Amino acid sequence: MSLLKGIDPDLLNGALTVVKTLHDHGHEAYFAGGAVRDLILERKVADIDVATSAPPEEIERFFPKTIPLGKEFGVVVVVQDSRQYEVTTFRKESGYLNGRHPTEVHFTDARQDVQRRDFTVNALFLDPWTEEIIDYVGGREDLKRKLVRTVGPPGPRFEEDRLRVLRAIRFACQLGFRIEPETYQQVQNYAQKLTQVSSERIRDELLRILTGADPARGLRLLFDSKVLGSILPEVAAMQGVPQPPQFHPEGDVFEHTCLMFQFSERLSHTLALAVLLHDVGKPPTFTVQERIRFDGHAELGARMAQEICRRLRLSNEQIEEIVDLVKNHLRFIHVREMRESTLKRFLRKENFGKHLELHRLDCLASHGDLSSYHFCQEKLEKFTQEAMRPEPLINGHDLIDLGLKPGPIFSEILGAVEDLQLEGKLSSKEEALEWVKGHHLTPDN
């Protein structure tokens, strides 16, 4: 059976055109890296990179539309039939700066090119015409052994690029592989040096782990390898913090969080970080009174989540959503006791689906009681959008017409009127104005 059979035809045809064009101009060209790995493993191929002997200037000359993504490093993006293909010139690198970027790049041949790559399973080439796999570093054997191993000694590979520490964990989880012992030892040794890598790069790899195929294993690997303590010490601090067994038979705060990821399915970025951080306030609020308590942990956790998310350079919109999720995750305890107006306001939150999913995972990873979750689902089915977001009965101009002076009291009055409207106690403008007159107008007004 052809290795290429499972690739999207449009993606494949564009890549074949790129390779053929390079061949027609007398250059070597192969499919490279992750695409080759995933073809061998019979996994879905999302994109195809090409490695070639052609220098960047010639690549630009051969194709009508290109993007000089990293031309100084030999990387040019070729646009073919509206799809983008990263085409990289065979190269070797040296003089790495700040544990991330090489200061010297020399164009070379395919055999030397693979020596600069991170892991053996990502250092494979494929000739798409003959389907010959070109393997200089034992990558095919490591695929059979389900092993993540660096190309060459792991120490120098991680010294060149510290981000590879996180990538080793990501690939292990993404592929369901184990990390080769010597490579894993160096992951541990280089964990503390990850702080020298930009926050954006760390964030992106962390999110790939937490939203990937096995985030629970990823989180445990991050902790066991000492990486978590380096990049997110507040989360690592959850390990070993006990919880009241009557509510949390699963164990400590860290184990609870891991189990939430175990029950999850491909979370969004913001929800994944909300799961990770929802109990980050527990270690600093831990006390033992009549039982183990974490008083105020949601509020403190929200402030800590904001600080962590800023450190990871998330957008303001993402930070706002994550903080909101963390701050409100305990509100489900009281949903059946809420005033109808309070409940409707909660249910109509724009991101309520994420609040509900966070609560579901929280329950599944602890006591297993989903009664509040089902209660909210029933109410969502019962309440129409109009019932939860009715048109306001009155506004500020109406209050002015009554003789009230604008100020903070307006928000209070309008909020109280909306509460009564949501509870079905007021249904018309006339009723609302009469209520205001009876509660907020005095002979002096």
| Whole-angstrom distance, CA of residue 39 vs CA of residue 49 | 13
Query: Could you name the CATH architecture of 146-231?
Result: Orthogonal Bundle (1.10)
CATH class of 1-145: alpha beta
Q: Which residues contact 15 (CB under 8 A, 6 or more apart)?
A: 31, 48, 50, 80, 85, 128
Which residue type occupies 73?
F
The tokens 């792991």 sit on which residue?
154
Residue 370 CB coordination number (10 Å):
13
pLDDT at 443 over 60: no
Would you say the pTM of this structure is higher than 0.75? yes
- The count of C-alpha atoms lying within 13 angstroms of the C-alpha of 74, restricted to the half-sphere facing its C-beta, is 22
Each residue of 275-317: pLDDT tens digit? 999 999 999 999 999 899 999 999 999 999 999 999 999 999 9
Residue from 249, 202, 26, 243 nearest 100 by CA: 202
Each residue of 145-159: pLDDT tens digit? 999 999 999 999 999
| Whole-angstrom distance, CA of residue 183 vs CA of residue 194 | 16
Going through 71-152 in order, the beta strands assigned E by DSSP cover 75-80, 83-89, 91-97, 101-107, 124-127, 132-135, 147-148
Q: 253-263 vs 215-224: helix axis angle to the nearest 10? A: 150
pLDDT of res. 6: 84
| Whole-angstrom distance, CA of residue 150 vs CA of residue 242 | 37
| Whole-angstrom distance, CA of residue 297 vs CA of residue 281 | 5
Domains of the chain, by residue range, sit at: 1-145, 146-231, 265-388, 396-440
Each residue of 152-195: pLDDT tens digit? 999 999 999 999 999 999 999 999 999 999 999 999 999 999 98
